[in-house]
Structure 1
């Protein structure tokens, strides 16, 4: 197992990727032990609108303890322990950005489309990322310059078709009709944003429109997986997303292959979200 960072030196990205793959796999096992009522979920609401379960918290505790023991010089940002080390994450050369269960609503409802998301971020970009999908029985991973993978299969976004398949809020459909005059197919809602982005990397979706107020932990690992598969995640103006900054809340975003994202830019606007 990879050891701790010494004297502030950064581990090679490949070592970080190996570390977070081990961590995400174990966190997935922990979360899965709560799935389908195997253990008491103890669901609560945070902020009045967002659920959190005992599975989220148990996976988060494991990830934080395991990863920071291995890399004590790294920063930490997680949905379930938001900014326990804000100063450290803003000054560290690298930080872990984690969502212990992305798609908590699906997890609570017994649906399988949830995942453990773990990324290593440096200079505002993910350099290693893992999505562990234990209920589905597979995982995604990527490292900068190393490609995106689902298990042992290398991923690539599919070429733009005549009628792209797009997962988007209903408020955006009228704008998408203008972006794609030849038509498009609307995909059903996928609660886990991270998994939705991985579906684009895998070629199961062509694009998605992301509502404003997504957070870094929702997208960090999936952003890299999508990029390494040849796709893009941008704001509505086409600018790249910066991770682990002062604010971790993101504006509305577009994701997909380059041609599909280009078609949506300037047509899908913030007006759609009110």
Structure 2
């Protein structure tokens, strides 16, 4: 995890952390209050009034401070102009909207700065849990101001966030090693759980998006873990296509253990 922290990216980290806290406070004001909900993507994905309110605050604060940065958010119509920008904000105003509208606390505001395809500053703010995760390129990963690292222990039980249907497909000997945790709807928060060592890894089904991943990807990387595709390649962000195929995240030992089984039977 060696490297030097750029003053520019540290300034950006300070900016996005402040903005994410503001957005989190706005979203938390809707939490448990039955906000209005709409359905998008042919009725498969919910979005609430809280998502839009948090997104508006983030857009106002961030683009006022960095008008030359591009913008990619789950709750803003995509603008191809971002592709001509070297540096882009990548936003999910509420990652885990299903949890949010169901009164579950595992949702977060996810904000990243992506430069030339890779995240260089990232924050996750989870107001209902009173948790904040952050990282900057070349620096450490933090949770509530304390540095975090992945679980580096090898052998024995492998604690995973993965669909039960996938785990059932594993070979019996490997399946016996796996302890599957309860599903967490927020993908960003699941990656944060890997980063702070609560779980060893997670499998990401195809069709995740840049806004689900970018901030948490950097936090996980700076905590000593990694998020890769099935070819062991890191993700590239701010492409024309912002969705991804099957991914695996974890401490190195977890990724190495999982990949052979996923190559044989990748999840849908």
> What's the TM-score, normalizing by structure 2?
0.93
1:114 is matched with 107
2:48 is matched with 53
1:172 is matched with 166
3-state secondary structure, aligned to 2:218: helix
Structure 2 gaps of 5+ residues are 1-5
Q: 1:271 Cα shift?
A: 3.9
Q: What is the total number of aligned residue pairs between the two structures?
A: 261
Equivalent residues of 2:246, 2:266 under 8 A apart:
no
Measured in 1, the distance between the counterparts of 2:208 and 2:264 equals: 14
Equivalent residues of 2:133, 2:143 under 8 A apart:
yes
Equivalent residues of 1:237, 1:266 under 8 A apart:
no
Measured in 2, the distance between the counterparts of 1:114 and 1:143 equals: 22
2:196 is equivalent to residue 202 of structure 1: yes
Cα–Cα, structure 1 residues 92 and 263, in superposed 2: closer, same or farther, change >3 Å? same
Measured in 2, the distance between the counterparts of 1:151 and 1:262 equals: 29
2:98 is matched with 105
Q: Deviations over 1:17-38 (max 9, x none)?
A: 000000000000000000011x
Q: Deviations over 1:154-173 (max 9, x none)?
A: 01001134111001112321
Measured in 2, the distance between the counterparts of 1:121 and 1:135 equals: 26
Measured in 1, the distance between the counterparts of 2:18 and 2:126 equals: 13
Measured in 1, the distance between the counterparts of 2:19 and 2:173 equals: 41
Cα–Cα, structure 1 residues 101 and 11, in superposed 2: closer, same or farther, change >3 Å? same
Structure 1 gaps of 5+ residues are 1-9
Measured in 1, the distance between the counterparts of 2:232 and 2:188 equals: 19
Measured in 1, the distance between the counterparts of 2:201 and 2:148 equals: 15
Further displaced range: 256-265 or 193-202 = 256-265
2:12 is matched with 16
Q: 1:175 Cα shift?
A: 4.3
Q: Deviations over 1:107-152 (max 9, x none)?
A: 0000000000000001111000000000001200000011100011
> What's the TM-score, normalizing by structure 1?
0.91
2:118 is matched with 125
Cα–Cα, structure 1 residues 139 and 177, in superposed 2: closer, same or farther, change >3 Å? farther
Equivalent residues of 2:169, 2:265 under 8 A apart:
no
CA RMSD of aligned residues (A): 1.7
Q: 1:272 Cα shift?
A: 3.9
2:72 is equivalent to residue 77 of structure 1: yes
3-state secondary structure, aligned to 1:118: strand
Q: 1:270 Cα shift?
A: 7.4
3-state secondary structure, aligned to 1:113: coil
